[in-house]
Structure 1
Amino acid sequence: MVTRRSPKLDKKQAVDTSLRLLNELGLDGLSLRAIAKELDVQAPALYWHFKNKQELLDEMATEMYRRMVADAALSPDLSWQDRLLAANRGLRTALLRYRDGAKVFSGSRFTGTEHAVEMEANLRALVAAGFELPQAVRATTTAYFFTLGFVTEEQGVEPLPGERREGFDVDERAERLADFPLAAEAGAELFQDYDEGFEEGLRLVIAGIAARYGVA
């Protein structure tokens, strides 16, 4: 009987390397073959841990989350509004550390249960503030989806802080859209000052939640 030996490659080592390569190659360029080459192993060593690229992305998203919550814990004394603000500010900061970070996070399945700790705390805080549980779920996921969508668009223009893709020059865009003055002027709001845009957008979402459910 042949005994199957565990590979020398550690799963966390593979995930850490994948996150580092993500900043160099982007999501489209990140492949199991590229990761194996960086680790100086054969591709089958990775398949021991990951059946396919999506399983790898699930582990990457989980590690991103672990790093995010390790950086800052939310105070239990926060109001529900401040809790949603802090949680989603932290999520955006975490996603912006990685090229295509929002794309990796979106649609991935967490492989551990660490995320349930913060999820439980957030839902408890909202229920204590007067939300029904279904409303609390809708409120937290709506803010979360806003953040994921915002950062996905943000990284489409600025893949990493300090980088800017060609074709998103606001002045050039305004010249091209000169016959559409409002649309032309809107470029300054759409493709600049992402910190301010995110903050205002998130506050709009939270104000809408409060108005919809009547919870102050």
Structure 2
Amino acid sequence: MSTERRAPLDRKRVADTALKLLNEVGLEGLTLRAIAKELDVKAPALYWHFKDKQALLDEMATEMYRRMVASAALDPADSWQERMLKANRGLRAALLSYRDGARVYSGSRFTGTDHAREMESNLRLFTASGFTLAQTVRANSTAYSYTIGFVIEEQGVKPLPGERREGYDVQERARLLAEFPLAAAAGAEIFEDYDRHFEEGLALIVAGVESWTRLG
């Protein structure tokens, strides 16, 4: 009989296992039963820690956030523009490292107060730069929503780096839309070069925030 002792089953171990399994099966295949099998426990054991799948997704999103901030310390010398760019680039990179990462993160609720330190620092930076608290929240919420939405669409085409879902061949799309030349040509601007497109969209938001605050 094996005498090897397994790590105790706690929220972090379940969330870590779920994130690992997510890259293999995607959000639709991520069931509590599948996670329990991976952990070599019975499914009811998970309900001691999570009342349902959404509670688990909340913990997964929180763990994703912990990992993201652990790898990218805030720079107090940042301008608000630099902080907005860095924060959303970092968020996109973090989400892209998991299959369906943006869908897991979107709409989830952090399970603790781990995010409060970075949030407070960000709010202080923006308000010290002349923003009201309301303007700060609106500007950052807009950039955050853009990033989440962009990555959801990006992962709909490329679930993980190096993968591409069937049906998103730009040349085939152009052939099918040949009688609509502008729509056909737009395919490359929608379904290719996501890095460039993300940066262009983020730059538009920063420029828009700058113009908005001058008007206000």
* TM-score of the pair, normalised by structure 2: 0.95
In 1, Cα distance between the equivalents of 2:119 and 2:179?
48
- SS in structure 1 at match of 2:115: helix
Give the deviation of 1:103 after TM superposition. 0.2
Matched, 1:135 2:171: no
1:181 paired residue number: 181
- SS in structure 1 at match of 2:15: helix
2:55 paired residue number: 55
- SS in structure 2 at match of 1:114: coil
Give the deviation of 1:28 after TM superposition. 0.5
2:209 paired residue number: 209
In 2, Cα distance between the equivalents of 1:118 and 1:12?
21
Residues 140-186 of structure 1, C-alpha deviation per residue, up to 9 Å, x if partnerless?
A: 11000000000000000000000000000000000111111111101
5+ long unaligned stretches in structure 2: 1-6
Task: Give 2:14's aligned amino acid.
Answer: A
2:155 paired residue number: 155
1:32 paired residue number: 32
- SS in structure 1 at match of 2:186: helix
1:71 paired residue number: 71
Give the deviation of 1:8 after TM superposition. 4.3
> Stretches of 4+ moved more than 2 A in 1?
none
In 1, Cα distance between the equivalents of 2:36 and 2:52?
13
1:4 paired residue number: none
1:98 paired residue number: 98
Task: Give 1:193's aligned amino acid.
Answer: D
In 1, Cα distance between the equivalents of 2:200 and 2:61?
26
Give the deviation of 1:114 after TM superposition. 1.2
In 2, Cα distance between the equivalents of 1:90 and 1:112?
21
In 1, Cα distance between the equivalents of 2:207 and 2:124?
20
- SS in structure 2 at match of 1:41: coil
Residues 129-149 of structure 1, C-alpha deviation per residue, up to 9 Å, x if partnerless?
A: 111110000001100000000
Task: Give 1:122's aligned amino acid.
Answer: N
How does 1:184-203 map onto structure 2 within 5 Å? 184-203=184-203
Q: Quote the RMSD (CA, aligned, Å).
A: 1.1
Alignment coverage as a number of residue pairs: 209
- SS in structure 2 at match of 1:19: helix
In 1, Cα distance between the equivalents of 2:80 and 2:184?
37
In 1, Cα distance between the equivalents of 2:110 and 2:18?
16
Give the deviation of 1:97 after TM superposition. 0.5
- SS in structure 2 at match of 1:150: helix
Contact 1:74 1:86 in 2 (8 A): no
Give the deviation of 1:112 after TM superposition. 1.2
